[in-house]
Structure 1
Amino acid sequence: MSDDQPDRKRSGFKDKTRLAAARERLLDAVEPHDRTATVGLSSADGRALAESVEAARDVPHYPRAAMDGYAVRAADTFGASDRSPEVLRRVGEAGEVETVPPDGAVRVHTGSELPDGADGVVMIEQTDEREAPGASDGASAEVARDVEVFDAVAEGENVAPVGEDVAAGQHLYDAGHRLRPSDLGLLKSVGIESVAVRERPSVAVVPTGEELVQSDPDPGEVIETNGLTVSRYVERWGGSATYRDVVTDDAEALRVAIQRDLTEDVVVTTGGSSVGERDLLPEVVADLGEIVFHGVALKPGHPVAAGVIEGTPIVMLPGYPVACIVNAVQFLRPLLKYVGGLPDESFPTTEARLDRKIRSEPGIRTFARVEVEADGDKRVATPTRASGSGVLSSVALADGWVVVPEGREGIPAGETVAVQDWEWSA
């Protein structure tokens, strides 16, 4: 234990670190990894690019019709109007005709390749087909037809030129950009089939507590949920989780478990982070490395701790389920984003009118779970009745939470609040 860490077993949490300061200390104590991999587009969703990307080809790579109608030489339509239409000769369909001759028209559909010679498309609404005068009874109906054009088109009108969407060599994304499904579609369209991405941070999730079991609990036993929940959040936030077996409240067993996983990018434990007789983790981590913080001014979940051992960050989450989730969102998520080179995007919020007061202590960042319901075209936020840090249903069934900053002593009913959708997957 470092000299500047107080003896929590005796003093408890009289002095708690502000949340922003604790998070800054944690990120300052670690370094992002630099491992990369090249993956196919089907495996790249949600990954951070390891290098910038430029388009390999034009999109479109051929001039194409932007409207249904007729591909023409624009000069041939000069002067066309409702009163005095220009009459062109229909010479076939797109894909059948290589070149539009003077005074010719080729039937095209949106996306059709323009034949050589064509530099404009007359919309179908501005045309009318008719049988060509003098067409013999045995002539082809497709060929022996004229097209009346009722509106002139300019050169390039209703035409998507080569590279209109994306030009070959165009810069698309910077290194660090988090790829979305729409990005993958764009990359494929420009001829890119694989990309270099940052490897997902590897995370060992270690649930601790002698009372924890995986099923069929006896009196005094508790079903293990924190490790499962946190490991799934790790995957959702861009990491690769290894969900370990429960480790009992024994200093040597905890030491062995932590040392086993120091090859991972992050080790996160659940339970055993407070100051009780069985809360051994902070002491074990302090003996192996150093404590970055222990005890944060937030509610629920102030007994959170973090440390670093041989360069590996150790996040020690409280054992109460809600406190565990709150701290995972506040500390583990930004840590994974930083280590893995992903942008730490803000949660989306919904404005709602608070219909019941939220209580909080000055100097404490409070996360109040709320349910949101529609009231006409507005929203109403109701704090959940069950608000204890051990009541898992209060967070699982909530629609989000309202963050009460340290400088406020609660939020009165009737105030408009921002409800954070912390379950958002990014």
Structure 2
Amino acid sequence: MATQSNHLSRIRSRLARRLGLRAAGGLFLLASIALGFFAIAASLVAGTWEALVAGHVVDALLAAATFMVAVAMGAVAAGWLFAPAARPDGVRLPREAAEPLHRLIERMSRRFGGARIDAVWIVDDMNAAILQRPRWGWGGPMETHLLIGLSLAHSVSRRQFSAILAHEFAHLVLQRHGVQAWWGHLRAWWFRALDRCVEDATWLGGMLERWSANDLRDAMRLSRLEEFEADALAAQVVGAPLVGEALVEVALKERFLSEDYWRKIMEQSSFEPRPVIRPFREMGLGVMAGFRRPMPGSVDIRHVYGQQASASDFHPTLNERLRALRVAAVVPRAGANTLANVCLGPLLPTLSWIFDRAWWEDSRRDWRQRYRSARCA
């Protein structure tokens, strides 16, 4: 098992390094294009002046027009590079606001050699993730942020969350430490810049897309390898059965929330001008009362969540991850209190209010359109 893990790590490291170097090359190319336009503009300044001195007004106007075009093109090309890493989008939790959660994170950090987390955030999705970004967007000290979804906190127990946390720390120590963090930063920066280039300059963007087509496929492959590698290290720290249990629990709860809970929330728009139920405020009770756990024991995950990831997936399927861990797809027994109740209890009213308000701002137009359509039907 250790030999297989080391082999996987070597493949992943080579792929990450190659993609990082390719990303650096792409960014250098875009920077060269921007500097080239600015160099052309600079050379035209003297030509415009000389034409004016010589009384060649038409030549001066043409040079000035070319200068303006070159500056504009240089600014557009520079704008492609102006794509700093995303900032965390959520509520930052200082230690004094969530002491139990920070203690849990620190204990897990010590099990991974003291890997550092600079800030902990609560976000609005069903996920936990490590986000790294240079302090000033493009450069500076690399900062590490741990993002924890409020929906996830309502869905797993503290024990199951420890396995999820172990998986995220495994990403950090294996794939986001030292130079590895900068390879990841360059890859993400390059793909953001490429997207902007494709939008603004179809001809150039098309050429760069063809040049980087294999890079995108390799990035998908790298992402899947990183998930398997992080699962393997997390299993060494907290045990493969607990990692597998957490994976199944998250998959079951995520399906319940997306296909049942949120669907019922939006169904209110057929007869209510505004939601009667505030989704994040009621989520804990909704999961407890509405989630119907399958009978404990083995469950055929293959028919529910798929057997193999498609070529466009950045993550392996649940079934693939369980198979790699060599654990059965067992439905976990109903646990004790959720992470939200144990570690975030006093904060839940405030967090729910913040995310409910943000959700309504995003959903209000769609909600009202549904309501009007139902009234007219």
TM-score, with structure 2 as normaliser: 0.23
The structure number with the bigger radius of gyration is: 1
Q: TM-score, normalised by structure 1?
A: 0.21
- More helix as a share of residues: 2
Q: Larger % of strand: which?
A: 1
